[in-house]
Amino acid sequence: MITLDRLTKRYGEKTAVSDFSLQIRPGRVTGFLGPNGAGKSTTMRLITGLDTPTGGRALIDGTPYAQLSHPLREVGALLDARAGHPGRSARGHLLGMARSNGIPAGRVREVLETVGLAEVAGRRIGTFSLGMGQRLGIAAALLGDPRVLLFDEPVNGLDPDGVRWVRELIRSLASEGRTVFVSSHLMSEMQDTADHLVVIGRGRILVDEPVETVIAGSSRNALRVRTPEPALLRAELRAAGLTVEERPEAAPDELIVLGAGLEEVGALAFRSGVPLHELSLRRASLEQAYMELTAGSVEYGVAAPAPDGADDVVRGKAGTR
């Protein structure tokens, strides 16, 4: 388990991580989301001892990373797919890591086979594509067969088959009772992979909840209503204080109702004598829920084009990811 206890990191006047307190528990995939500059990579570096906190602490099963006797056997991390020396072979890179932590040399062959790099084990890392580098980074994380795993953007550079493979691998690791902490900008992938979410913005925790709870809290959850009398039902719904959203793609007999339950709309239609051909729930996507949560936390936003056709202006100030 990973425990963050009032974890804080400042770089001069910039607070990258502000008073984080949470537990990342074993047996589930915890997704770590936030805009660029929110503090995701900084948090992972603090957990793995690569950065020193300004305040608070990060613990691995109750112990700071720096005090672990054989850290690769207890924590595996993919934080930078290009971390290896470009002149070394994939096998040599992993073998050096294994020897530093008393891991049998045979384990190197096992993880290379797991990630699909066994046939290129003798190639220099500098010749690897981004996707191959990601696979090597995952192999390094798995090398010590650790109980805690951190992956920062693990599907970058991977093709669709590779993305699916990473998803299945991560879920299988969690099913074995391991602690799995994954950051990503791919909302659809996180929706399919994660059980729990930690969402941060501007260095602060916005959400620490199960995926389904995050999605259920979105205002974009809506009801789809089909009726032969849409104008009448629209008027009745609005008279009852409900929001009927106008969507260009909606069919002539279709209404999209926000902020209401199935029973409420069904009862209102019944009282009004309006027949219904369909009444169904349209769940928000994780992307929609995420955009709502982080709307006020984006440091790098793109402004609308100026009236004179000038280029878009990117606004925001430098920060850490």
| pLDDT recorded at residue 299 | 57
The answer to whether residue 107 is domain-embedded is yes
Residue 304 lies in a domain: no
Residue 10's pLDDT is 94
If asked whether residues 30 and 92 sit together in one domain, one would say yes
What local confidence, expressed as pLDDT, does residue 95 receive?
A: 95
44 lies in the same domain as 168: yes
pLDDT of residue 308: 45
Q: What is the pLDDT of residue 300?
A: 52
Please give the mean pLDDT across all residues of the chain: 89
Low-confidence ranges of the chain (pLDDT < 50): 304-321
**Residues 316, 301: contact at Cβ < 8 Å?**
yes
Residue that finishes a domain, picked among 173, 201, 216: 216
* Residue 31 · residue 184 · CB < 8 Å: yes
Positive or negative CA dihedral for 128, 97, 113, 159?
negative
pLDDT for res 298: 62
The predicted structure's pLDDT at residue 294: 87
Q: Are residues 195 and 256 in the same domain?
A: no
Same domain for 114 and 133? yes
Q: What is the pLDDT of residue 311?
A: 37
Q: How many domains does the chain have?
A: 2
In a domain? residue 154: yes
Q: How far is residue 209 CA from its own chain's centroid?
A: 13
Residue 296 resides in a domain: no
Q: Decide if 298 contacts 19 (C-beta within 8 A).
A: no
Structure confidence at residue 267 (pLDDT):
95
The answer to whether residue 80 is domain-embedded is: yes
The answer to whether 316 and 299 are in contact (CB under 8 A) is yes
Q: Are residues 139 and 235 in the same domain?
A: no
Domain that holds residue 80: 2-216
Cα 283 to Cα 281: distance, rounded to the nearest angstrom: 6
**Ordered DSSP codes for 98-141:** HHHTT--THHHHHHHHHTT-GGGTTSBGGG--HHHHHHHHHHHH
